[in-house]
Structure 1
Amino acid sequence: MSNPLNFPTGAAMVAGVVGQPIHHSLSPFLHTAWIRHLGLNAVYVPFGPKDEHGFERLILSCRTNGVRGLNVTAPFKEIALKLADSYSDIAHNSGSANLLTFDDEGHIHADSTDGHGLIRAFALQAPACDLTSGAVTLLGAGGASRAVVASLLRLGCNDVRIVNRTVARAEELVFAFKDKVTAYGLTDVEKAFAGSVAVINAASGGPLPPLTGLDQSACVMDMTYRPLKTAWLQAAENAGLGIVDGLGMLIEQARPSFEAFYGVAPDEAQDVRRLALNFLGEA
């Protein structure tokens, strides 16, 4: 019997995203759009365990219940790496994982696609910005920053600068990577900006510094995608700087995850960004 509406059946491939909070995640929308476009017998669902104990129980269950894999978001990325049986080099260097896949024997493999998503977003939205041609400055020293640092160094960037309110937290990244990474406090932000080809906001909150000291050719990115164009990005655009939004990073980090879950890449011809903008009310 045919299944013309592509409703999932008992043989559906199952994957999802896990975080806390999770209700705001756009990942289910993106993956479901790709699933429907390709006509796959698959589902992608959100999970919201209350704490690390709940997360560990979920992962234990996924070892044996046929789930293909999970995307992992805050605050579980670091423990996701610790629970894995194997991991990619980039996940190891990032100290966290945003992608877990499960094989038929219950083996868990960890990977990190956040840095890949960021680099692809720059390539698509600011193709003239060569991230290896000068310093790249990150605001914030959390897990997202570490994943981006690992990917920037892998790309060939020789000067990564971390600006954080608590300098000791930024220095932890310097210690983790040993070379080509420098820590700055908020009082030295202009020094960090000087000569930067790109400034990336990876901070979870708080006021952002003015964009003084940046060259006119620099690009500015904000990992936030709600709103799509934050006040900080608007200020950068008003100053004549190139901008990259967080939606591009989200979409591009999701593509390799989708292929890992379902064995097929999303259709590049499908304009999933336009669909997401409509869904967010940003069109």
Structure 2
Amino acid sequence: MLTAKAAVAGVMGWPVGHSRSPRLHGWWLDRYGIDGAYIPLAVPPGRVAEAVRALPALGLRGANVTVPHKEAVIAACDQVDPVARRIGAVNTLVVAEDGTIEGRNTDGFGFMENLRADRPDWRAGAGPAVVLGAGGAARAILVALADAGAPEIRLLNRTRDRAETLAAELGGPVRVLPWEERAFALDGAALVVNTTTQGMGGQPALDLDLGRLPPAALVTDIVYTPLHTPLLKAAMERGNPVVDGLGMLLHQARPGFEAWFGRVPEVTPELRRFVLEGL
């Protein structure tokens, strides 16, 4: 039961009704018996800064940020951590005791923790990574892979200019290849990541021939509806290890929950089943 001292956080977006975060954080709050609440915060474009600055006055500990506000919230933060600054987007806001607001980005953390939890023996330094897509999720994943020691990251996007811009901004081991050469880019790869919406329910499957992919290469997809996308099914059929995208959603939520509610939450099979039931 909530009391007047309940810790409160939420998720900002427009629209926000599709967010799985209230279900996810609500499960953890119940699981650990925490006096707290996690609520949806529908914030229309143009009022983002106003909403962020209101968090301390309303007594909220912070909030997650989802589309389309991840970039716009940066200007409203008192400080932004280095990872979020490099990515150019914030998905987690933390209100300090003095009322200042810090912007963080935990998407890359969630991506890497998902791989490590499912495939403990996998290492980013094992070989080249192939990343398909150059949107917001790709930015976070590229930074995470580079920081984890990936020796080469082959970035491919249907609009090459966007990939070139992203590679120029991030630097490091990111190398842009033409979308038409995506099948050849798999030569010698240790990891393949699909960050596009291709393969999501209602979208066409990702057109990618896996014939050149080494048998031991790990294949992952950030899409989790369906849980096993056509790409993951094709990889499994040829014997490649795969990791689905649901874990990224679950793991990226952990740092925010710890900051707001004072407990390090666990990602368990029970949590996965509970979140899947809501999809």
TM-score, structure 1 normalization: 0.90
CA distance in 2, matches of 1:191, 1:172: 22
Query: Once the 2 structures are TM-superposed, how far is the Cα of residue 207 of structure 1 from its aligned partner?
Result: 4.4
After TM superposition, the structure 1 = structure 2 runs for residues 111-260 of structure 1, keeping only pairs within 5 Å, are 111-205=104-198, 207-210=205-208, 211-260=210-259
Query: Once the 2 structures are TM-superposed, how far is the Cα of residue 269 of structure 1 from its aligned partner?
Result: 6.6
What's the Cα RMSD here? 1.8
User: Which residue number in structure 2 is paired with residue 4 of structure 1?
Assistant: none
User: Which residue number in structure 1 is paired with residue 91 of structure 2?
Assistant: 98
Q: Give SS of 1:260's match.
A: helix
Q: Cα–Cα, structure 1 residues 238 and 31, in superposed 2: closer, same or farther, change >3 Å?
A: same
Output the amino acid matched with 2:206: L
Q: Give SS of 1:10's match.
A: coil
Q: How many residues align?
A: 273
Query: Once the 2 structures are TM-superposed, how far is the Cα of residue 267 of structure 1 from its aligned partner?
Result: 4.5
CA contact (8 A) 1:129 1:197 kept: no
Query: Once the 2 structures are TM-superposed, how far is the Cα of residue 126 of structure 1 from its aligned partner?
Result: 2.2
**Identical counterparts, % of pairs:** 36
Q: Give SS of 2:124's match.
A: coil
Query: Once the 2 structures are TM-superposed, how far is the Cα of residue 22 of structure 1 from its aligned partner?
Result: 2.2
Q: 2:78 aligns with which of 74, 85, 88?
A: 85
User: Once structures 1 and 2 are overlaid, which stretch shifts more, 236-245 or 31-40?
Assistant: 236-245
Per-residue displacement from partner, 1:155-203 (whole Å, max 9, x unpaired)? 1112112110000100112111222101122101123222211111111
CA contact (8 A) 2:8 2:38 kept: yes
CA contact (8 A) 1:195 1:214 kept: yes
Per-residue displacement from partner, 1:110-129 (whole Å, max 9, x unpaired)? 11111111111111222333
Q: 2:43 aligns with which of 49, 62, 65?
A: 49
Q: 2:12 aligns with which of 8, 15, 18?
A: 18
CA contact (8 A) 1:8 1:41 kept: yes
Matched, 1:69 2:67: no
Output the amino acid matched with 2:47: G
Per-residue displacement from partner, 1:189-227 (whole Å, max 9, x unpaired)? 123222211111111346423223211111111111122
CA contact (8 A) 2:167 2:174 kept: yes
Query: Once the 2 structures are TM-superposed, how far is the Cα of residue 270 of structure 1 from its aligned partner?
Result: 7.8
TM-score, structure 2 normalization: 0.92
CA distance in 1, matches of 2:90, 2:194: 20
Per-residue displacement from partner, 1:32-65 (whole Å, max 9, x unpaired)? 11101111110001122232x1322211211321
